[in-house]
Structure formats: C-alpha cells, structure tokens
C-alpha cells in the first residue's frame, strides 16, 4: 500500500514516522525547506515507546507523485484549502483519505473535494511536539488512531489500514462507529481547549484555582448539552473518564490550541469553539461559557491578524 502523509509536523511526523520505521511505503508531502531537511537527515522521533531515526521519502507540491492508496491528512483547519489542493494530484478513484483533524467542519469540505465515499472519519490520540531541530518529541504514552467508515461497519479497506499499523506501537483498530468517536473527541477537545485558553492555564493550574474544578465540570456539561442535542450523546463511560482527566490535580495536560496561543501562533478557534457555539445557537441552547471562550479567542485572533 502506497501512503502519502501531508505534513511532517507533530501528528503527521509521529504516525507517518511509525509507519516508516515499520518499513511501510510512506511519502511525506512537505514544503521545500522541510523536504530538504528530511531528505538529508531523515525523520527523528523521541518517544517513551522507543526512539528512532529513519530515512524517509519526500514529495513537494510540484512533485506529489502517486496515485496513492491512502492519504493521511494532518493539516490544521485554517490550512485545509491549501492541503486539499496539495494532495489532489495524488488522489484517484482508488484512494482513501484519512483526515486526523479535530472537530467536524472538515468533513463537508473533503467530501466536496474528493467524494464522501473516499473520506474516512478519524481522530488522533497522541501528545507530540515538533522541536526546533525538526525532530518530533512524543510527550506521553498515547499512541492511537481511531478511524472507520462514516456510514458504519468495517470494510476490507479499513481492515487493510488496520493491518498497516499492526507492527507499530500505534493502536489503530478499525472502528465500526467512528462518528460517535469523533463526537466524543469533539466534546473533550472543545471543553479542554475552551477552558484552558479562557483561563490561560493547563488542567492542573485551573484545578488549583478557587472553584476551578467546578468551573471545568460546568464547562464540560455545557459542551455535552450541545453535543447531545445536535450530534451523538457521549457514553457514560466516556463522560466519567473525561471528568476524571479534566479535574486531575497537578496535571500538566493542555491541548495544542492552548500551546499555539501561548506561542502567538494561529489557532482553530472558529473551527472548534466557534463551530460548537454556532451549533448550540441553532439548537436554541444557552452556552455562556462557550461564548466567553470564543470572544476571548476572537480578540486574540484579531490582534494576531493586525500584528
């Protein structure tokens, strides 16, 4: 199976790197400077599950190659249009597209570009950071992908992708209800990103503040109320785990949106918090905490655009 991974940042670099380490036919589609560095030095991953450095194949926008059997899409939402244009030359009738983006807004745009039948649902579970030297640092032991056919069931092509990861430290079983998984990840990332960004602290920081744990649980409940009305209600087991994770004293966990905000980088406020806020408004659900978080992030984005 020929695989194209768009980007070699934290997420694409980690999962694509694990496939390359296992000897799979992986090509990274990256910009010129990153392509030259990867071609010269290979891809290095530092991980509690095992460090490695492997030579990798690279492609650039003017030389995509293909067609590929699988395209793994790890772009940020605000780069999605450019990402679609970049991978288009490598996609044909037999190509499956596996997006690993948070939220749900990207699905309609990918369906319009490539056809819904080609686009899997998927979410990534990994804590990884791109280092200044171009290496990937895996910062926890999370190493998983949930993916599947959005209409349900497990197809032969899903089984083939599952098999790709079987010889790696990545847990990637085909999922027969991927939309529930995506909604639940949307719940978790929206609550954590909205809360951490609004309070400008990681989970442990907020828990340690007076009333912090109650604030977190209230934010989570508000997000769940929207999801339950407009999407798929999270399972009790998921909610129990989410409440525990989001209120763990001393936890240094925080989402990538918070880290981007700290670094003065673009953020996915519109596609995560804004999208959820709009869904709640259409359903007539009051969402004061989400509205506060979105206003806070919008001020940040306005200042970033004006800088």
pLDDT digits (tens, 9 = 90+) for 231-281: 888 999 999 999 999 999 999 999 989 999 999 999 999 999 999 999 999
In angstroms, the CA 106 to CA 271 distance is 9
Q: What is the pLDDT of residue 117?
A: 95
Identify the residue whose tokens are 């499956």.
96
For residue 151, the tally of other CB atoms under 10 A from its CB is 11
pLDDT in tens, 140-189: 889 999 999 999 999 999 999 999 999 999 999 999 999 999 999 999 99
- With a CB cutoff of 8 Å and minimum separation 6, the contacts of 66 are 2, 4, 89, 90, 91, 92, 95
Element (H, E) at 5: strand 2-6
Q: What is the pLDDT of residue 32?
A: 83
pLDDT in tens, 10-60: 999 999 999 999 999 999 999 888 999 999 999 999 999 999 999 999 999
Which tokens belong to 69?
């059997």
Q: Is the pLDDT score of 195 beyond 90?
A: yes
Which tokens belong to 230?
């407009």
C-alpha angle 167/168/170, rounded to 5°?
Answer: 130
What are the residue ranges spanned by the domains of the chain? 2-176, 181-306
Bridge-based pairing state of the strands 121-130 and 136-148:
antiparallel
Q: Please check whether residue 75 is in contact with residue 83, taking contact to mean a CB–CB distance below 8 angstroms.
A: yes
Q: Is the pLDDT score of 66 beyond 90?
A: no
Q: Is the pLDDT score of 299 beyond 90?
A: yes
pLDDT in tens, 113-140: 999 999 999 999 998 999 999 999 999 8
In angstroms, the CA 116 to CA 107 distance is 8
In angstroms, the CA 126 to CA 85 distance is 26
Fold of 181-306: 1.10.1040
What CATH class does 2-176 carry? Answer: alpha beta
Q: Which long-range contacts does 73-76 make (Cβ < 8 Å, 24+ apart)?
A: 73/6, 73/97, 73/98, 73/99, 73/100, 73/101, 73/110, 74/5, 74/6, 74/7, 74/9, 74/11, 74/12, 74/15, 74/100, 74/101, 74/124, 75/6, 75/7, 75/101, 76/101, 76/266, 76/268
């Amino acid at each position: 199976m020929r695989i194209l991974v768009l980007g070699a940042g934290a997420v694409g670099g980690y999962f694509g790197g694990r496939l390359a380490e296992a000897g799979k036919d992986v090509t990274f589609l990256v910009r010129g400077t990153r392509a030259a560095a990867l071609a010269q030095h290979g891809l290095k991953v530092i991980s509690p599950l095992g460090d490695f450095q492997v030579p990798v194949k690279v492609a650039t926008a003017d030389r995509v190659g293909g067609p590929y059997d699988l395209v793994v899409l790890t772009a940020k939402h605000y780069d999605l249009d450019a990402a679609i244009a970049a991978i288009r030359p490598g996609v044909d009738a037999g190509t499956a597209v596996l997006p690993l983006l948070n939220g749900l807004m990207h699905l309609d745009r990918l369906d319009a570009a490539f056809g819904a039948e080609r686009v899997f649902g998927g979410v990534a579970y990994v804590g990884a950071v791109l280092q200044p030297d171009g290496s990937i640092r895996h910062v926890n032991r999370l190493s998983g992908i949930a993916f599947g056919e959005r209409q349900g069931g497990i197809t032969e092509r899903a089984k083939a992708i599952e098999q790709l990861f079987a010889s790696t430290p990545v847990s990637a079983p085909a999922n027969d209800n991927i939309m529930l998984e995506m909604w639940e990840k949307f719940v978790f990332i929206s609550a954590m990103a909205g809360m951490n960004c609004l309070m400008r602290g990681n989970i442990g920081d907020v828990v340690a503040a007076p009333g912090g744990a109650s604030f977190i649980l209230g934010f989570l409940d508000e997000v769940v109320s929207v999801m339950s009305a407009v999407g798929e209600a999270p399972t009790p087991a998921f909610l129990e785990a989410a409440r525990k994770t989001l209120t763990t004293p001393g936890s240094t966990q925080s989402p990538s949106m918070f880290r981007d905000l700290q670094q003065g980088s673009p953020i996915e406020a519109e596609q995560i918090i804004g999208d959820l806020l709009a869904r709640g408004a259409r359903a007539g659900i009051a969402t004061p905490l989400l509205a506060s978080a979105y206003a806070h992030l919008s001020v940040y984005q306005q200042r970033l655009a004006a800088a």
